[in-house]
Structure formats: structure tokens, C-alpha cells
Structure 1
Amino acid sequence: MRNTVLMCLFALFSAVLALGQNRSVADSAIAKITKEITLPKIPEISVELQQFGALPNDAKDDRKAIIKALNYLKKRNGGKLIIGKGIYEINGPIHLPSHVNLHLQEGAVLRFAPKPELYLPMVFTSWEGTFLYNYSPLIYAKNETNIAITGAGVIDGEGSKVWSTFKAEEQADKLLSRKMNHEEQPIANRQFGKDSKLRPHLLQFIDCKNILIEGVHFEDSPFWTTHFLRSNEITIRGISFNAHNKNNDGIDLEYVNNVLIENVDFNNSDDNIAIKAGRDTEGRANSETPSQNIVIRNNRFKGLHALVIGSEMSAGVKNVFVVDNMASGYLKRGVYFKTNSDRGGYIKSIYIDQLELQKTEDCIYMTANYHGEGSGAHASQLNDIFISNVTCEVATETAIVIEGYPTKKAHHIYLSDIHVKQATNGLTLTNTKNVHLNEVIIGKRAGTPTAVK
């Protein structure tokens, strides 16, 4: 019922654009989504990590103390684990149970050892849109409810030391995982882990509900920094990133429902926010669980790309609201929707309003021909996309690119009040229909035509 209401609200956008009322329609939809998101309920009990034998700054492994503390809370149906000021060495993954808040006080640092063998045995996970078994993410939860990570401390993945060397050697494992996906091999047979070069996520929650990530700082991730997969009712707010290894996305959402991301400071050398929904054959088989009902507001972007949808989006992405965001530094692309004709699925019912960008390569880029890949058998659909009130100081390449696919044209794209002050190239529309432009200015605003002398 809720999704039907949201789709009706999107249908209203095209009718009210000329009246300048589309933001009020969006605000109504945003309120409906955020009302559905419940924060985790954590019992009042709290314990301090040092009660369980951890000593900060002693260069010894504190993971055993964390596991002991988490088990203590689990037996009491949850609570808050307080980690005080200091550096804690963590030799292996932390698996969070339900009803627990991992609270890092200011000055607390969890520093994960960069030793791949410590992140075995393998766990059920996902790698670039394909389910498989691999190294455990550094912080991991599966099938848990009411989980939180809060505070003002630092979570350091130490990814730049050993894990970063895996990038140059990952190709064979990456291609094998995709082959297994396309051939629909049983997930139980997709065994990577020891001797493989598929890096783990810094944080990954799978099949979880009622999640809060608030206040903490993430840095130096081995792979994607935070990944929320097949999870619902997620609140991410007030966190920050400093992650500059290869594939150091900030927040990756995949097969999710009801998400709020707000007041986040990004500094990532890859996608700041990437919304995904599975890759190719496997993603299309999960079309009943698209990524949907997502609110992104009041964030500060910096790094590679600000807002990305794709490229793994085969189950579909819809009902996304992105409002009142800005760049705090350079971005390669501000808005970037990417898919190809292997993916299938759709990107639709997307609303973006009030986005301030500084220097970019491309301001807005939507393509159904990502990397020029694809057999053509599974073209994706891009439609019902509303972007308004965007300013961009410089686009060193192109201000706006919209590329559909010959057999599935991008359609019903609405661009309003867009001002790119300087661009090498202006506007490129390929395989599109029903693209509506209003108050779109690239370069200087044209004035009164000069008279013939």
C-alpha cells in the first residue's frame, strides 16, 4: 500500500512542475518514508570494554575482550558496549548480535589488523552484486535486529597495507564470481576466502532490520566501507569518511527498503553513496526486492562521485529522494546513474532537489551503456527522473549527459532550474524521449539578441 501511495505521488510530479509545487509533493513522500523507519530498541544495560580485560594503547589484541563483552550482553538480551578513549587492536572480525549498541567514545579507535588469515572462516557475503562465501567483513551482522554503532570514535580498516595489494590480482576471482552468477551456480559452491583476492568490506549488515549508524568516523577500508544488503529500516546520520583505497565507496545500499541518510561528511576516492540491487542473472531473479524508499538529505560530498545508482541494479531501484545536499570539494561526477544491457532492471521514480556542486568533470550523467558492456539482451529502463535546483561551478567535460538504450529509450526525464556556470560541452541526449528542460542554463545566461547593424 505504501509503495502504491509513493508511486501516485511521483505521478503527480509531472502535473505540478509548471506550478513549482513538486517539492511539496516530495516532502510529503519523504515524511511517509521516514515515518516507517524505526530506530533500534536497545536495553538500558551498559558495560565498558575494559571490564572484560581490554587495555587501550598496549598493542595487544582486544578482540577477545570485545567478543566476551558482546556475549555477556547477548545473554542479557542486549545493551550498550562502551569503548573508551584509546587505540584498540582488533585481530579479526567483530560479529554484532541483535539488540546491541557498539558505542565508541571520542578518542576511541578500533584498528583492525591487516592480516587476511584472521578474517576466516568464510561467511556468506556479497561481492559487487554476487552472493558468495568470502573473508568476513571486518564488522559483520547477519539476520540481526536492533543493532547500532554510535559515538564519536574511529573505525580504521587498515586497508592500505596488505589488502590494497589484492586489487592488482583480483581479476581472475572477480570474473569467476560473475561466471558463477550468470550460470546460476549454487551459492554454497561459490567458495572464495583463503588464497582469493576478493577484499572484504569494512562493515556489512545482511538481512538485518532497525539499524542505526551515528557519529562515528570510518577510514582506510579494504573495499567498500559500509554495505547494507537485504536490510530494512536503516538510519545513517552524522558519520564521516576518510577512505582513499581502490573501491572505497562510502555507503552502499543493496536490496534495501526504508533508508535515511543525513548529515554525513564524505571524503571517499570512489562513490560517496551508491544505490544497488544485485548484478545480472542473480539480480533479476530477486526482482521482488528492489532498493526502494530511500531519503538522502543534508550531506556534504567529496571524492569521486556524489550520488550513484548502479551499476549493479538488476532488481531495480525506485522511490529515491535526494534533497538539500552539497559538495565540500571536487567530484568527478555529481549525479551518476550507470547501467548496461547485461543488467536489466530499472532506475525510476528518482527525485533530486537542491544540490550544490563545485568543480566536476560531469555534472549530471545518466547512461544505459556503462563501460560499453552488454549483450543487448537485458537493457535497463531509466524513466521518471526529476532533477531540480542544481548549481555547478565547473564541468570540465560535459554539463549533462542522458544516454538510453536503442531498444529502451530513457524517458520522462525532467530537468528544471539547472545552472552549470562553465562547461567544455553542454548537453548530450542519446536514445531518449520525453525529456523536459526548463530554466536550464549552461554557461552564461543568454540575453536580448543583438540588433542587425
Structure 2
Amino acid sequence: MKFYNIAILFVSCFVACINGRSQGLTRTEKRDEILKNIVPPKLSPNTFRLTDFGARGDSMTNCKPAFDKAIAACKKKGGGRIMVPSGIYIVNGPIHMVSNTAIDLAKGAKLVFGTNPDHYLPAVPTSWEGTFLYNYSPLIYAYQAENIAITGEGTIDGNGKEGFAKWYDLQKPDQQLSREMNHSGVPVSQRQFGKGHYLRPQLIQFFECKNILVEGVTIQNSPFWTVHFLKSENIIARKVKFNAFNKNNDGFDPEYSRNILIEDIDFNNADDNVAVKAGRDQEGRLTAIPSENIIIRNSRFKGLHGLVIGSEMSAGVQNVFVENCTYGGYCKRGIYLKSNPDRGGFIRDIYVNDVTFGEVEDAVFITSFYHGEGKGYETDIRNVYLDNVKFTTATNAGLVIQGYPTKKVSNIQFSNIKIDSCGTAISFTNAEQVIFSNVVIGKEITVPSAANHTPSH
């Protein structure tokens, strides 16, 4: 069903459904129950100055040994905060965080990571586009840690443009190999990448961690995904600024993770601002840990897409709340839910409330057939509620739903939606139980004009 350049006003009597009631709770009650389980990490009062361990913020000295020593001192003391004074600190290799440790970057402090790939070996357990494997270490990496934080007003510069980001054009064989290993169930210990391979590492990754805080810092120039929460929980990301323009420079990628609050963020990414993921294909379905209980609020979207769910989401995604957000610049798509029949899993109980975008290509795009490929494992997409969502312009399409013939997208509810102008207003295929209440696409039609009657003689 398609409509071109028209105004639409639908009114539905399904008011109780639009309120998003689930399991007896309203949307706000459900959100508030989740918020009770998201608390800041308990950080040690011990403090250590990085410069006391040999670091110099002179843009020349390699400060990797100083970070290693400072982290060892924190571990010995049972925890601590590593204070990084103003200056430019070269770090030729990864920072591996441990439990009860924080890195605090003073205003004017900048970490700039080196570009020699050998410095990021040996390979560590990680994940790449939804497949577990061993690869070059993320630049800042925490594995099986708790009570960890990255805070302050300083900057983390991955130096990706001069380093790992150049591998984008070389990655295809390794990307395909990782997917084949996923599909054939190769043991993770045998999925050895790193030296001789070209999978770019993430800038920051928390893997099997809990009680995490990322606050205040500016993050830029990532080699690949920027901040990856992997099999982690109880996470707060607040007042972060992104300037990340290399290929695949997503902002936040929660994967197999839960109880996450993302708020007051200034996004500026060449890729997705928030991309909620949950594993790829067979491995994701077997892992069966959904990404859930994620709240994104009071933030400014700018980049490729605002909120994305997928496409690696085979373990399922549920209970995602986007509230009181606006835009800091152009986004290609505002809300983008994507899967294909290789994935399986589910996307459900997604709430988007009080969100405003400017110009986009597509306003809301929900597809079960991403890239037009896949078979055998259709995704169940249902219970998506959008209320008070506005767009200035959608140059291509306003509202798009593309279900799958054998698994239709269902119970999608649009309430108080306004798109001032767009190309195609609505395009729905293989969708059912789509409900509208106060939806206007194009110029709103108000009082009908009077008949222009000329009496006959």
C-alpha cells in the first residue's frame, strides 16, 4: 500500500493499546522498574596520577607502560582512580582495565592511540559483527571486570584514520571467514584472527562486565565500533560527545547486554548512533541472551541513523525506550529496525516517545528482509509503539514496514506522528495490526473548503 505526497489523519479507538501496556504495566511503570536496577558503580576512593608512573603529556612519550603500572597499582590496592592531567598522551598499545578501576581524563587531556597493529597483540577474546572470536585487542578493553569507569572532560582519540580504519577495504575475506565459522559451529578457541588478518578492533569494549560508567568524555576517530557493551549489565553512559567519522563508527553498540541507561549524549557518528545488537545467526540463537532493558533519553542524534536495532540480533531485543530526544544534525534514518531470515530471534516491546528529527531520508523503517537476503529463520517483530514523534522532512519515505510472508510484522502503533513533507508517505507489506491515532503526513487538512457553486440560468 503506497500513498504519494498526501496528508493522512487516522484516528483509532485502540487507546488502551497505544498506551503500551505490557504485562499489566504502563510504559512509564515498566521503564521505572528498569531504572531501579541501573545504579552507578561503586568506585574506590584511592587516586593515582598517571604522571607519577612516568607518563608525560608531551605528545611524544609512549604512555602505555605508565598505564600498565598505574592499573597494576590500582589492582594491588583493591581499586583506584587513575587521574590523567591536561596534555596529549600517546598510548602505543591497549589499555586493559581491571575491576574497581576508573580512568579520569581532566579537561584538556587527550589519549591518542598508536597505529602499529603489533602493539595490540596478543589477540584477546572479543566479538566482531556478532561472532565471537580472538582478534586484536580493543584499544580500551575490560574483560570479566566490575565497577569500572571512564570519566572526565578529556578526549579519547582512536587515531583510526591513520591506522586500523584503513583496513576496511581489506576485511572482506576475514569477515566472510568469521561468518562461516559462526554458521558451522567452529569452537571459539579456534577462531584466531589478529596477525595476518584485517578485522578492525573496537575503540572501547566491555566484555562480560558489570557496573559500568562512561561519562563526560569526548570520543573520536575510532577504528571500528566506538563503544561496545558485550554480554555486560548495569551500564550508565552519560554526557558523552562523539566525533567519529570512519567506516562503521557506531556510537554505542549494546550486544547481549541489559539494564542500560544512555542519556544526554551528543552524537556525531558516520554510522548508527545507538545500534542494539544480540549476536549473529546460529551463534546468537544458541547464546540466547537477549539485549534488553535499554533506555535512551535526552540526547541529540546526528549521523547515519538515530536508533537502530539489528541487524545482528539473533538472540532477541526487547524493552528498548527512546524518550525526549532531538537531533543535532542530519540523520539518514530516524528509527530503523532491521533483520533478515538468517537471523531468527525477535524484536519486541520498543517504545519511542517525544522524539524530534529534522530532515531524514526515511523516518521510520522496519524491515524483516534487510539486504534482501536470508532464509529459514524469520524474525518475530511486534509490539512497537511510537508516540509524539515528529520529522521535518523525509525525502524518501515516511513510514515503512516490510514483514516476511511467513512471519508478518504485527502490532505496530503510531500515535501523534507528524511528518511535514515526504516522498512516499506509507509503504507497508506483510504487516498486520498496524494502528494509527492522529497521524499527519504532509500538510494537515483542516476545515473543508466550501463548494464553488455558480447558479445556472
Normalising by structure 1, what TM-score? 0.94
- Which consecutive segments of 4 or more residues in structure 1 shift more than 4 A? 17-22
| Residue deviations 1:231-269 (CA, integer Å, cap 9, x gap) | 010000011100000000000000011000000000000
Equivalences for residues 190-229 of structure 1 within 5 A: 190-229=191-230
Q: Using the alignment, how far apart are the partners of 1:283 and 1:362 within structure 2?
A: 28
Residue 430 (structure 1) aligned with residue 429 (structure 2):
yes
Aligned position for 1:444: 443
Do 2:21 and 2:27's aligned partners in 1 also have CA atoms closer than 8 Å?
no
CA 1:18 to 1:333, structure 2 compared with 1: closer, same or farther past 3 Å? closer
Aligned position for 1:316: 316
Aligned position for 2:6: none
Aligned position for 2:346: 346
Q: Which amino acid aligns with 2:403?
A: G
Do 2:300 and 2:327's aligned partners in 1 also have CA atoms closer than 8 Å?
yes
Equivalences for residues 3-402 of structure 1 within 5 A: 16-17=16-17, 25-287=26-288, 289-375=289-375, 377-402=376-401
- Where in structure 2 are there 5+ consecutive unaligned residues? 1-13
Q: Which amino acid aligns with 1:383?
A: R
Aligned position for 2:8: none
Aligned position for 1:10: none
Q: CA deviation at 1:443?
A: 0.5
Q: CA deviation at 1:164?
A: 2.1
Q: CA deviation at 1:324?
A: 0.4
Q: Using the alignment, how far apart are the partners of 2:440 and 2:100 within structure 1?
A: 51
Q: CA deviation at 1:208?
A: 0.2
Q: Which amino acid aligns with 2:79?
A: G
Q: Using the alignment, how far apart are the partners of 2:183 and 2:17 within structure 1?
A: 42
| Residue deviations 1:278-333 (CA, integer Å, cap 9, x gap) | 0000000012x100111110010001000000000000000111110111110000
Q: Using the alignment, how far apart are the partners of 2:89 and 2:125 within structure 1?
A: 27
Do 2:18 and 2:415's aligned partners in 1 also have CA atoms closer than 8 Å?
no
Q: CA deviation at 1:25?
A: 2.4
SS at match of 2:161: coil
Do 2:20 and 2:27's aligned partners in 1 also have CA atoms closer than 8 Å?
no
SS at match of 1:59: strand
Q: Using the alignment, how far apart are the partners of 1:257 and 1:201 within structure 2?
A: 20
Q: Using the alignment, how far apart are the partners of 1:315 and 1:135 within structure 2?
A: 25
Q: CA deviation at 1:448?
A: 3.4
SS at match of 1:73: helix
Aligned position for 2:412: 413
- Where in structure 1 are there 5+ consecutive unaligned residues? 1-13
Q: Which amino acid aligns with 1:386?
A: Y
SS at match of 1:422: strand
Do 2:20 and 2:26's aligned partners in 1 also have CA atoms closer than 8 Å?
no
Q: Which amino acid aligns with 1:416?
A: S
Q: Using the alignment, how far apart are the partners of 1:19 and 1:159 within structure 2?
A: 44
**Considering only aligned residues, what root-mean-square deviation do their CA atoms show, in Å?**
1.6
Q: Which amino acid aligns with 2:391?
A: C
Aligned position for 1:8: none
Q: Using the alignment, how far apart are the partners of 1:153 and 1:53 within structure 2?
A: 19
| Residue deviations 1:42-83 (CA, integer Å, cap 9, x gap) | 111111111111111150101101110110010010011100
Q: Using the alignment, how far apart are the partners of 2:330 and 2:254 within structure 1?
A: 23
SS at match of 1:136: coil
Q: Using the alignment, how far apart are the partners of 2:38 and 2:101 within structure 1?
A: 18
Q: CA deviation at 1:21?
A: 9.4
Q: Using the alignment, how far apart are the partners of 1:174 and 1:41 within structure 2?
A: 38
Q: CA deviation at 1:163?
A: 1.5
Q: Using the alignment, how far apart are the partners of 2:93 and 2:427 within structure 1?
A: 49
Q: Which amino acid aligns with 2:385?
A: F
Q: CA deviation at 1:29?
A: 1.7
Do 2:18 and 2:413's aligned partners in 1 also have CA atoms closer than 8 Å?
no
| Residue deviations 1:364-411 (CA, integer Å, cap 9, x gap) | 000001000102x00001101100101100111001101111000000
Q: Which amino acid aligns with 2:339?
A: T
More displaced stretch, 334-343 vs 53-62:
53-62
Whose relative contact order is higher, 1 or 2, with alpha carbons under 8 Å and at least 6 apart? 2
Identity of aligned residues (%): 48
Q: CA deviation at 1:38?
A: 2.4
Do 2:361 and 2:396's aligned partners in 1 also have CA atoms closer than 8 Å?
yes
Q: Which amino acid aligns with 1:424?
A: G
Q: CA deviation at 1:19?
A: 7.4
CA 1:279 to 1:18, structure 2 compared with 1: closer, same or farther past 3 Å? closer
Q: Which amino acid aligns with 1:439?
A: N
CA 1:430 to 1:58, structure 2 compared with 1: closer, same or farther past 3 Å? closer
